[in-house]
Amino acid sequence: MRLQTLFAGAAMILATPAASATLSEAIHADMPQLMTLYRDIHAHPELSMQEVRTPALLAPQMRKLGFDVTEHVGKTGVVAVMRNGPGPVLLIRADMDALPVKEQTGLPFASQVTGKLPDGTVTPVMHACGHDTHVTTWLETARLLSERKDQWSGTLVMILQPGEEMGLGAKAMLDDGLFTRFPKPDTMLAFHDSASLPAGVIGVTSGYALANTDSVSIDVKGVGGHGAYPQNTKDPIVLASRIVVALQTLVSRENDPQQPAVVTVGTFHAGTKQNIIPDDAKLELTVRSYTPETRKLLLDGIARIARGEAIAAGMPDDKMPVVTVADSYTPSTFNTEALSTHLISLFRQHFGDARVVETKPIMAGEDFSRYWLADKTKQSTIFWVGGVPQAKWDAVHGDTLKLPSLHSPFWAPDAEAVISTASEAMTLAALDALKKG
């Protein structure tokens, strides 16, 4: 029944003739149907690379709007192409996956869904990063542009991307021929809702915007034995502790202080009983940076410190720590200066100075980065749209430490403000990028 309701709502969106209205007026008229779609997607989140229902809902609507639609690109991704005469090629991306988080927002349409992680573990699933607002905005932007074909010329490529939360989706779509099977973009755009800006405020970062993200594991070897006779052992807990402490010097003493870097040891597992010295200890790290040079310094330093501390502890060569860097590396996201600077000016002219701010880079990761890295001659920007409800923002005087962050089970953005602002901003940017002449 919910599925039928959603399709009915989507059909109403398509039936709304708004080409002569302003963008704001058109979006306002569509909001009831857009919120129906948003709530449905929020209530039915899907884990990374398992997105089936979401693309099945959106792909038919894109066909009705006149796009040539290809499904199952990069496993579950959607590519929708609209050719509208000569001109540049613009790519607009929305990510659609959710997170293994149990929702605690108390919303009437809160997720009750469970899913399976790659290892088979059953987990609650939630749109705790706001990708449901991204998907809804994606469809509305497509509709607005399809109704305004007389205002732009060129080719519009709109992609619904899987697997952003695992850093797999962009690579999967590129590997599946995104830039060879479909028109290659001159300009690439995306947006992300923000838990650090009040609802409806747009943030743009020029240059590095999001970080390289590496997951590193260190398997620390030891020689176990009785806790009462430590002289007969090589204690991996002590060795791993030395490694944890020494790793902090990578940022504090080896890295240029003007180059941001983070080395966080997130897990430390060892032992089974208080009077047993175990045979090994395991550390798991997240490592963040912006430049390739800083990334190399950190990763090389982790391997060097782990081995050096093991040598200092008297470990033989066959018991050196094993350092593994996960393949699911996400490269840093770079907003090209020409486009990001232009968007700041464009958005301020349209929305006013108070609603557009220049934001600082952050240490989160985003695999939107891979599209620009595939061809650095192109222009690319991902911008933010604030989602913190104004009343909550005012109550804490803008202190984001007192607010739920992205990935929090309590993250409940002002979805109407995010979707309306993002749809207007993205459509405005698209019309500018594809303007005639």
pLDDT tens, 153-188? 999 999 999 999 999 999 999 999 999 999 999 999
CA distances from 152 to 44, 63, 156, 380 (A): 35, 19, 10, 19
d(CA 313, CA 429): 58
Residue 265 reports pLDDT greater than 50:
yes
d(CA 295, CA 288): 7
Q: What is the pLDDT of residue 31?
A: 97
Distance of CA 22 to the CA centre of its chain: 30
Tens digit of each residue's pLDDT (9 = 90 or more) over 213-235: 999 999 999 999 999 999 999 99
User: Which is nearest to 197 in space by CA: 14, 344, 406, 428?
Assistant: 406
Q: How many CA atoms lie within 13 A of 71 on its CB side?
A: 13
Residue 10 reports pLDDT greater than 60:
no
User: Which is nearest to 112 in space by CA: 101, 125, 100, 98?
Assistant: 125
Residue 4 reports pLDDT greater than 80:
no
Q: Residue 280's beta-bridge partner residues?
A: 221
CA distances from 39 to 32, 57, 72, 89, 220 (A): 11, 13, 24, 32, 47
Residue 17 reports pLDDT greater than 70:
no
Tens digit of each residue's pLDDT (9 = 90 or more) over 21-78: 799 999 999 999 999 999 999 999 999 999 999 999 999 999 999 999 999 999 999 9
**Catalytic residue flag (residue 337):** no
CA distances from 216 to 219, 264, 286, 364 (A): 10, 10, 6, 16
Residue 355 reports pLDDT greater than 50:
yes
Catalytic residue among 51, 140, 147, 164: 164
Q: What is the pLDDT of residue 327?
A: 84
Q: What is the pLDDT of residue 3?
A: 39
Q: Residue 366's beta-bridge partner residues?
A: none
Q: What is the pLDDT of residue 236?
A: 98
Local confidence band at 437 (pLDDT 50, 70, 90 cut-offs): confident
Section 82-105 average pLDDT: 98
Q: What is the dihedral of CA 16, 188, 82, 153, to 10 degrees?
A: 90
* DSSP-based three-state secondary structure for 269: strand
Structure tokens at 205: 């970062």
For the chain, domains (ranges, CATH) are 2-211+332-433 (3.40.630.10), 215-325 (3.30.70.360)
Section 337-359 average pLDDT: 98
Q: How many CA atoms lie within 13 A of 134 on its CB side?
A: 30
**Catalytic residue flag (residue 119):** no
Local confidence band at 328 (pLDDT 50, 70, 90 cut-offs): confident
Matching residue, tokens 């490529």: 157
154-161/89-95 β-pairing: parallel
Section 85-100 average pLDDT: 98
Q: What percent of the chain has pLDDT over 70?
A: 95
**Mean model confidence pLDDT for the chain:** 95
Contact 212, 289 (CB under 8 A): yes
Section 114-132 average pLDDT: 97
d(CA 342, CA 431): 13
d(CA 3, CA 285): 42
Q: What is the pLDDT of residue 257?
A: 95
Section 82-110 average pLDDT: 98
Q: What is the pLDDT of residue 2?
A: 38
d(CA 290, CA 295): 7
Catalytic residue among 30, 40, 51, 97: 97
Residue 20 reports pLDDT greater than 70:
no
Angle in degrees, CA 377, 381, 384, rounded to 5: 170
Q: State the alpha helices, DSSP H only, in 123-233.
A: 131-146, 169-175, 178-181
d(CA 208, CA 292): 12
pTM, two decimals, is 0.91
